Every structure is written in C-alpha cells, then in structure tokens.
Amino acid sequence: MRCRLVLGLAALLVMPALVLARPAVDVAAYARADSFEQVKISPDGRHIAATVPLDNGESTALVVMDRDNRITGRFSLGRHRHVAQFHWVNNERLLIAGSEKLGRQDRPQLTGELYAMSADGSGSRFLVGQRMLGEGAGTRIQPRKVEQVAAFLVDDLPGDERNVIISVWPFHGDPYTRADRLDVYTGRRVTVARAPVRNAEFVTDNNGEVRFAVGAGPDLNSQLYYRDAGSSDWRLVHEQSGTGVVRHPVGFSADNATAYLRTEMASGPDAIIAMDVATGETREVLRDPAFDPHAILYRSGSREPAGVLYQGERPRTAFFDETSGEGRLYRSLEAAFPDPVVITSRTTDGRIALVHTWSDRNPGDYYLFEDEAKRASLLLSTRVWFDPQRMAERRSFSLQARDGTPLHGFLTLPNGAGTSGLPMVVMPHGGPFGIQDTWGFDDDAQMLAEAGYAVLQVNFRGSGGYGRAFEDAGARQWGRAMQDDVTDATRWAIGEGIADPGRICIAGGSYGGYAALMGAVREPDLYRCAVGYIGIYDLPTMHTRGDVRSIGSGETFLREWVGEGQMLADASPTRLAEQIKVPVFLAAGGQDERAPIAHSHMMERALRTAGVPVETLYYPTEGHGFYREAHRREYYTRLLAFLARSLGGALAAATDTTDDIAATP
C-alpha cells in the first residue's frame, strides 16, 4: 500500500507539467464524419459516384458527379438510414443497397432493401425489400413482387445491361434462401436457384449462372454445395463437420473450368485454392505464412479473381499470376504511390482506374489514374482537415504469449515524445471473434496519441486475420486466455521500455469495454484506470438480453463461443467489482441492442457498492456507439479528462458540448 501511495503521489506531482507540455486536443476533428466514403467511376468514365455522410454521419447519401464535378444525381433514404453499397450496372444505371446502424460502432446492417437510380438522378425506384408496397388495389398484376424479404447483390452481370443476380432471404430465423434475376429498371424478378442449405450465400460463374451455395443451419455446421453448368441438381462437396474447416468460393476462371475457394486450414492462415470443377482436384494458389487474405482482387470488369489484399504488418497485394494485367498495373501503382493502393473501379476499356490510397497517418485519398499516360490526379480526400505530416506513426509489433502463441499488434506513438517511458493506453478491439486491428488511420489511437499517449492494440487469440485455429483458440476464453494475451502485450511494452509501468490505463469499446473492466479485475496493479464504452459486463445476461440470442444460430454461438453456466458468472466484471482498485469511466447508449445499457447500469451499481470511483456518460437516444457529433465530442472530452487524472496527458480543447447530455459524475 505504501509503495502504491508513493507512486500515486509521484504521478500527481508530474501531472500538471505533462498536461501543460501538450496543447489541448481538437476532439471535434476526430468526431467529424468523413467527407466521402466509397467512390467508383462509371464503366464509360463519364461519371463518378460517391457515398457522402450527411448530418455528421447520421445518414449517408449517394451523389453522382460528371467529370467536371457537377452533381447530376442524388439519392438518400432519410435520417439514420444509409446508402451502404452501390454498383454501376451499366453506364447510366446504379443499383443501391440500403442499411441502418443504431450506433457508430455497429457494423452496417444491410436492410436487404435494393433501389436503383440513373446517373442523371431520374428513374429512382424501390426494387425489393421489406418496405415494398403493392401497386394498388384493383389489379392482380404487380410489376414487382411484394414480399417481406431481404435481398443482397450476388452478381452485377457485367455483360447484361438490365439485370443482376440477387439472393433473397425470407424474414424468419435461419431461412432457406433463393437466387433471383432482378431487372434494375422494372424490379421484375425471376427465381434461378434455390438453396439446399439454410442461410446460404450464392456464387456465380462468369456467365452469371449460380454454381455454388454455402451456408449453415442453427448448428453452425458450414456446408458447401456445387452444381454443374446448366444443372439444377446440387451436390455436397465440403462440410465443416467432417474437416473442422470452412471453404468459401470466391469466383471462377475466365473459362469457368476452375473455381477458386478461400479455405481455412487445420493450422495457420487461410489459403486460396483452385478446384478443377470437372475432377474435383485442388491445388494451393496463394497462402501467406502468417496472415489471412483480407479481400479478393478481381480482374477488371469481371468476377474472375486475380489476387488478394493482405492486412499484415502493412497492407500488401499478391496475384495468382504476377505477370497478369492486374498484377502489372498494381505493381506500377505501388511504385508510384508511397502508401498502399486498391483499385475501386475501372472503365470498361481499362484506360482509367479509380485508385484509393491510405496510410497510418492519412485517412485516405482517391485518384484518377490514366493508364496510357501513366498519370494520376487527385480526385477526393476523405478528410482534408487532417495533415498527414502531423499525425502519429503506427508501428507493427509481435510477441509470444505466455503459452507460446504468436501475437501481432500495433503501437501508435505520440509525435515528439520519444519511444520510451511513455504513458500508455491499452485498447483491445471489439467483436471479439473474427475482428482485427489493422495498419491504417485509427481515429481513437490518433486522438490519444495527440494527447501524449502511446496506444497499444494487440490482436489477441480469437481475432480474425490469422487463421481458423487462432480464432478458435478464443472460444469460451472471455476473461481467460484472451485476457491473458492483452496482459502479456502490456507487459511486453513495459519490458521493451516503451511504457511507463506507473502510467498505463486500459480502454475499449464493445468487447473491448469488457476486456478493459476484466483487465482492471485481473490486474489491479497493472492499470491505473479503466474505460468501458458500450460494453458487455455481465455474461449471463447475454443469454437473456441483446440481439445475438434472437435466432437459433445465435444461441449456438453464445454457448460455443462465449460459454454457459458458472463459467459466465466467474468471468463477469459485474460480479467481481470488489477486485477493481482503480477509477472507472463507463459510457453507453440507451438504444443499444448489441450491448444493452443494462450491462453498464449493472456495472455502475456493482462499482459503487464496492466503493470504486466511477464516472458515467449515458445517452438515451444512442445505440452501439455514439452517432451525433456533439455526443462524440463530449465523450472524447470526458475521456481525455478522465485519462489525464491518472496518466497526465492533454485535455480536449474547449468546445460546445451542451447537446442532449445525460451524464453522471
């Protein structure tokens, strides 16, 4: 106790100097929504389409511009609704997918509603989805099917000017899906395939014919079915229960004789394999020794896979054939740009490509690249208010956990502070399963670095990106081995001299909020404070409240991946609050369906009963992450003030945060 008191007094003595050493942080810059998100060029190169956040990210519109930056068309769905995806079906027509997000940290939840609009803004039409109404009484002929279903794009059929292939999902738990051909002008649909397995996704060949269906029922046993061209008969070609791994088709070769599949392996990262569809023989095409494929790169104007993007220590690309047109183009672009590049779209003639580039210090820029002239011109910047030269560096690191498991992560370092003896914030990611922290611009890490903190993010076991076995190793390890990995990474940073052992806090959102509170439970002398944002804190409650449990496969997931019975109580911070010895800050939204605010209320009561200092920030109208800019500014302002009291970093610059705040000191 005496040692702890001395350390606490020492921290208080140095705190004012540390606060004064750095200017106040403009948290408004980090709370603002991007200027643009997805950007794609039309097949003829005459128009650019982009999704544009409105009302500081509370909704998203689609804007179409000509090459002189004149707006020719606009499409929006209203507040709290978003244009999540869009695709050029031909030179003039766009297919649009809508989504809704109840909170900033929610993954975009596609509503299954599809719309279409022409580039000049005309012909806007609702094609399919749950809000579809009939054409009126008095007629039995309905141009569009009126069904309570969700629909998602499967294939935009590059050779077809009117139609696309969509998957159709009835609104009930674990449904059997079907594939329809959809006319993007009239909304008429014709069924072309029915799935032989529940929750199936479809994959087409280069003729637009449905050839694969992959899905799983409530038991989460993935099954892969295949059918020959021209046939309606499915046959099972792979099953998870027999191998322990999942295979997912990603496309066909140009002649449709070879299918490419992303396949999990018994150990190590996923591979891309080629399967001869006539014989069933397979061969490995691409596999990184450490990292999973992050995204598939397709040949221009087709659904033929050409390579993959890896998200490892730094993004990189690899191609099936490095001498292919795509391989040569990417290598040319990578030589011209200092940072990673991805082609978002390309004209049909291949003369113009729209290129996205980004870095750890740059949120992202879009360039028009003219292939013949080998010339790139800046088109749009995601956030012009950030100067990459002034942002913090993000470094990769690796270590071995206490049981020998290799771990990877990222360390963001404050500018001008050196690399040793730094106050540090440990920030476990949300999810947790299948999610990973990657190299790139991270709002929270950059803001904390500007305040003077090193930020450590480790991809603990259970994270995505490192193979099935690594992800499986996190099953039923909430508060156990997954938590040990976070602790081991923290101790690694101390051992390397990066972190000051007397000035470390742990903070996270969603699962990361859980890990932050469990870190304070299990390591009472390692962390000086803990922050839980939209977190889960009472594991038994996951089986009674929240959206995960709403379908049969969700219940299976909770049992197999989180746990059941006494093991849940033993790993719940709400039931271990008396072991927490440091101040806690909790923030949550009253409309959160993923991590209901009841978790935060229970955690707060338990902390107060245990005599632990606790601050809270609750917004009744927010969901899984704060949407409104004023709310995000207030959260960041309160977060920096809370951290400063324990670690001595900078505070937020003065800003108006009087909007709709419900806070408890």
Query: CATH no. for residue 479?
Result: 3.40.50.1820
| The predicted structure's pLDDT at residue 545 | 72
CA–CA separation, 146 and 124 (whole Å): 18
Reported as a single tens digit per residue, the pLDDT across 470-517 is 999 999 999 999 999 999 999 999 999 999 999 999 999 999 999 999
Rounded-to-integer distance, Cα 606 and Cα 579, Å:
11
Instruction: Decide: 98 and 83 in contact? Cβ < 8 Å.
Output: yes
Looking at per-residue pLDDT, the higher value among 69 and 185 belongs to: 185
Q: Specify if 50 maps to a domain.
A: no
Per-residue pLDDT of 215-265, as tens digits, reads: 998 888 999 999 999 999 999 999 999 888 999 999 999 999 999 999 999
pLDDT at 123: 95
What pLDDT shows up at residue 655? 67
Range 120-142 average pLDDT = 70
Tell me the per-residue pLDDT of 45-100, one tens digit each, with 9 for 90 and over: 999 999 999 887 788 999 999 988 899 999 999 877 899 999 999 999 999 999 87
Domain assignment of residue 600, yes or no: yes
Neighbour-count burial of 113, counting CB atoms closer than 10 A to its CB (0-12 exposed, 13-18 middle, 19+ buried): buried
CA dist 466 and 481 (Å) reads 16
**According to the model, what pLDDT value does residue 301 have?**
81
Quote the domain boundaries for residue 592: 2-30+387-664
**Measuring CA to CA, which residue among 30, 27, 33, 84 is closest to residue 58?**
33
The answer to the question of residue 268 being in a domain is no
For the residues 352-376, what does the mean pLDDT come to?
95
Q: Are 513 and 532 in contact (CB under 8 A)?
A: yes
DSSP letter for each residue of 518-585: HHHHH-TTT-S-EEEES----GGGGGTSSSGGGSHHHHHHIIIII--THHHHHT-GGG-GGG--S-EE
Dihedral (C-alpha) 236, 240, 245, 249: value to the nearest 10 degrees? 30
* 509 domain residue, yes or no: yes
Which one-letter DSSP state was computed for residue 388? G
Nearest alpha carbon to residue 424 among 415, 413, 437: 413
State the amino acid at position 450 in one-letter form: E
Averaged pLDDT, 325-334: 94
Domain contains 368: no
DSSP 256: S
Domain count, the chain: 1
- State the pLDDT at residue 100: 79
The sign of the dihedral angle between the CA atoms of 583, 587, 588, 589 is positive
Supply the pLDDT for residue 664.
43
Is the distance from CB of 572 to CB of 537 less than 8 angstroms? Answer: yes
pLDDT of 561: 86
| Residue 576, pLDDT score | 97
As a residue count, the chain comes to: 665
- Residues facing residue 272 across a β-bridge: 262, 286
Residue type, 105: Q
Q: How many CB atoms neighbour CB 541 within 10 A?
A: 18
- Percent of the chain scoring above 70 in pLDDT: 91
Contacts of 661 (CB under 8 A, 6+ apart): 617, 619, 631, 634
Q: Cα 122 from chain centroid?
A: 33
Q: How sure is the predictor about 106, in pLDDT bands with cuts at 50, 70 and 90?
A: low
Q: Give the count of alpha carbons within 13 A of 507, CB side only.
A: 28
Angle at 366 between CA 365 and CA 367, to 5 degrees: 120
Regarding predicted confidence, which is higher, 402 or 662?
A: 402
pLDDT digits (tens, 9 = 90+) for 515-530: 999 999 999 999 999 9
How many Å apart are CA 84 and CA 106, to the nearest integer?
13
* Residue 62 · residue 118 · CB < 8 Å: no
Domain annotation covers residue 399? yes
Task: Report phi then psi at 294, rounded to 5.
Answer: -95, -40
pLDDT at position 300 is: 86
Q: Is the pLDDT of residue 1 over 50?
A: no
Q: In this model, does residue 10 exceed pLDDT 60?
A: no
Determine, yes or no, domain membership for 536.
yes
- Answer yes or no: is 547 within a domain: yes
Mean pLDDT, the chain, as a whole number?
90
